[in-house]
Amino acid sequence: MAIKNIVFDFGGVLIDINYQSTINAFKDLGIVDFEALYSQAEQQDLFNKFETGKISSQYFINQLLDKIGKGFSPNVVVKAWNEMLGAIHQDNILAVEKLKSFGYKIFLLSNTNDIHIEVAFNRWDKLPLTPPNELFNHIFLSQELGMRKPDDEIFQFVLDEISAKPEEVLFIDDSMQHIETAQKMGFQTHLLENIDSLSTFLLTKFN
């Protein structure tokens, strides 16, 4: 069945992400086992709760401050947490803009949190690009929905909200575990292994 809807992940697809930068930043602050607590593939309950809106930003920051110890400010934690956020990938956004001009419905589906999404969207808004709330037909954020990828329920929620059959949807993500769930549910998928390849993939596939 022909693709009518395209659902994009955010981190690693439209914005550069380097998880190791945040891991290193927290190691420098004294959490030597931070890599065991948080990575692209797996994360502990504190981070899951933050990404599903079950705890506030302040609670999240305080929990990490407790692990670091006395003498550090909340701003230090926020800075370390945001170290993973890189540049908005302008070529990819321009390719998405072109797809929307072709008549495709465009959506964002991201596992994220209040701290990261505010910084990332602020960076986006400073660029000569269509703002996120104008580019996407709908933005689905884990911390607002109370659910996250790769759970089936968030994919089903998206389908219900956009009134689409899974085979009409192309889902693009850089995490294999997310792609596997989407495939199981009948989505068309593309695993993005290199952020620099997205614009070429899109303009080749849909031209």
Q: Tens of pLDDT along 107-147?
A: 999 999 999 999 999 999 999 999 999 999 999 999 999 99
Question: Beta partners for 170?
Answer: 6, 188
Asked if pLDDT for residue 204 goes beyond 60, the answer is yes
| pLDDT, position 71 | 83
β 138-141/105-110 pair status: parallel
| pLDDT of 8 strictly over 90 | yes
* Interval 75-98: pLDDT, tens: 999 999 999 999 999 999 999 999
- Residue 181 near residue 152, CB atoms below 8 Å: yes
Per-residue confidence (pLDDT) for residue 134, from 0 to 100: 97
A 10 A CB-CB count for 188 gives: 18
Same-domain check for residues 127 and 182: yes
Cβ 34 vs Cβ 23: under 8 Å? yes
Between CA 188 and CA 60 the distance in angstroms is: 35
Query: pLDDT category, 102, cuts 50, 70, 90?
Result: very high
Are 74 and 169 within one domain?
A: no
The verdict on whether omega for the bond into residue 166 sits within 30 degrees of 0, i.e. cis, is: no
> Would you state the structure tokens that stand for residue 142, as one six-digit string?
């884990």
Which one of 82, 101, 124 terminates a domain?
82
Q: In this predicted structure, what is the pLDDT of residue 32?
A: 85
Task: Clarify whether residues 26 and 115 are in a common domain.
Answer: no
189 and 99 share a domain?
yes
Residue 169 pLDDT more than 60?
yes
Same structural domain, 61 and 159: no
* Confidence (pLDDT) at 67: 85
Same domain, yes or no: 63 and 96: no
Do 78 and 109 lie in a common domain? Answer: no
* Stretch (H or E) spanning 39: none
Same domain assignment for residues 148 and 164? yes
| Cβ-proximal residues to 179 (8 Å cutoff; 6+ apart), any chain | 171, 173, 189, 190, 191
Report the C-alpha gap between 55 and 147 in whole angstroms. Answer: 13
Q: Which residue's entry shows tokens 């930068």? A: 21
Strand partners, 138: 107
Domain that holds residue 64: 19-82
The two structure tokens encoding residue 24: 């290193």
| CA distances from residue 145 to 54, 105, 179 in whole angstroms, order as listed | 10, 20, 19
Q: What is the pLDDT of residues 30-75, one digit of tens each?
A: 988 888 777 545 568 889 999 999 999 999 999 999 888 778 999 9
Boundary of a domain, candidates 31, 56, 82? 82
52 shares a domain with 128: no
**Distance of alpha carbon 106 from alpha carbon 90, whole angstroms:** 16
Verify that 70 and 126 share a domain, yes or no: no
Question: Which two tokens mark 124?
Answer: 């986006």
Q: Is 172 helix (H, G, I), strand (E, B) or coil?
A: strand
Residues 68, 165, single domain; the answer is no
Name the domain boundary from 63, 82, 101: 82
CATH number at residue 112: 3.40.50.1000
**What CA–CA distance (Å, rounded) separates 53 from 49?**
6
Same domain, 91 and 179: yes
Task: Look up the CATH number of the domain holding residue 49.
Answer: 1.10.150.240
What's the token pair of residue 5? 């809807």
Domain count of the fold of the chain: 2
